[in-house]
A and B are shown apart, each in its own frame.
Chain A
């Protein structure tokens, strides 16, 4: 029997984190997605055990301050795209507000560390979300363009082709054929 699964990423991540924190008997408060505050003083050894444990679940504790900012930028963007946030200001303004920093600082830092620009990262995330909607939800490209606030289907289709080198329909066909083989 083959099951096709769809994930609510935010929920999955939070559930895993909560379960691990409780397993280590750590009292905490969640301050934002991917950010918690430990309420009690915890020994280094206990912390190391916790870090090692969550590492097995693909969770890493970010320590480098630059990387912390980058991770926050990514989290805001992923949340914005995947949770279809209705934002009526420009993304640059939104990011600056959410991170409480000026945009040119964020933008330079992002390019320096990640080898890509914030703009490209947003496009990449939108195209990734489009891929999921195309293959898992089987939405049409027209529906997706509307959902993601593209001015037209042609715009989304062009951006898909520019980003991946293949058309949305070729992408759908390839993924469908892969499923048949497996």
Chain B
């Protein structure tokens, strides 16, 4: 991975959420490149194209039209190509069942979307810095579980 910036992707059908997300990242001190996708099909088309760089960290909304976040998560985990990509679920739901289920399938992070912008910045910063540690300090990614 390039150590100068972090390569991020977000799949979310809500335009406002995508906007907040990119704005939050612009204000963080970690340098990042963000790719945005409106639904699961768009995301998987991008990921499956081997010309595109695999993101270091993918943020995945659970409820999306066409292909849900859960379906994407299962497809991604079934492929060896994405074993180094960390996956953060980024959802309005915070049911204990959803959380545990997505962790078991292989998500690394579960974020309940915060309502205010400052909180969002704080949460995203924590995800990115923790992910950074896993990338740069040789920690075992199988043990990377974080709930915010």
Q: Look across to chain B and name the residue whose beta carbon is closest to the beta carbon of A131.
A: B143
Q: Look across to chain B and name the residue whose beta carbon is closest to the beta carbon of A134.
A: B143
List A contacts of B24 (CB < 8 A): none
B104-148 vs A: 1/0 string, CB under 8 Å? Answer: 111000100000000000000000111011001111101101111
A99 vs B36: C-alpha distance in the bound complex, in angstroms? 43
A116 vs B83: C-alpha distance in the bound complex, in angstroms? 25
Q: Look across to chain A and name the residue whose beta carbon is closest to the beta carbon of B136.
A: A114
Q: Provided the pairs A115-B30, A165-B146, A174-B103 are in contact, do residues A132 and B140 lie with their beta carbons within 8 angstroms?
A: yes
Partner of B104, one of A128, A135, A177: A177
Partner of A174, one of B100, B136, B138: B100
CB of B29 within 8 Å of the partner chain: yes
Number of A-B contacts (CB under 8 A): 52
A174 vs B109: C-alpha distance in the bound complex, in angstroms? 13
Asked whether B139 lies within 8 Å of A115 as measured between CB atoms, the reply is no
CB of A181 within 8 Å of the partner chain: yes
Interface hub of B30, B136, B146 (most chain A Cβ within 10 A) = B136
A162 vs B132: C-alpha distance in the bound complex, in angstroms? 18
A181 vs B106: C-alpha distance in the bound complex, in angstroms? 10
Asked whether B104 lies within 8 Å of A178 as measured between CB atoms, the reply is yes
**Chain A interface size, under 10 / 10 to 19 / 20 to 34 / 35 or more:** 20 to 34
Asked whether A132 lies within 8 Å of B143 as measured between CB atoms, the reply is yes
Q: Provided the pairs A114-B132, A115-B30, A174-B104 are in contact, do residues A128 and B140 lie with their beta carbons within 8 angstroms?
A: yes
**Chain B interface size, under 10 / 10 to 19 / 20 to 34 / 35 or more:** 20 to 34
Asked whether B140 lies within 8 Å of A166 as measured between CB atoms, the reply is no
Interface hub of B136, B137, B140 (most chain A Cβ within 10 A) = B137
A170 vs B147: C-alpha distance in the bound complex, in angstroms? 11
Asked whether A164 lies within 8 Å of B106 as measured between CB atoms, the reply is no
List B contacts of A128 (CB < 8 A): 139-140, 143
Partner of A164, one of B29, B105, B128, B145: B145
B11-38 vs A: 1/0 string, CB under 8 Å? Answer: 0000000000000000001100000000
CB of A124 within 8 Å of the partner chain: yes
- Given contacts A114-B132, A124-B133, A166-B145, list 16 more A-B pairs with CB under 8 A: A74-B137, A78-B137, A114-B136, A115-B132, A116-B133, A131-B140, A131-B143, A164-B145, A164-B146, A165-B110, A166-B103, A166-B147, A175-B143, A178-B104, A178-B106, A181-B105
A/B interface sample: 18 pairs, CB < 8 A: A78-B137, A114-B132, A114-B136, A115-B128, A116-B129, A116-B132, A121-B133, A128-B139, A128-B143, A131-B140, A132-B143, A164-B145, A165-B110, A173-B100, A174-B100, A175-B142, A178-B104, A181-B104
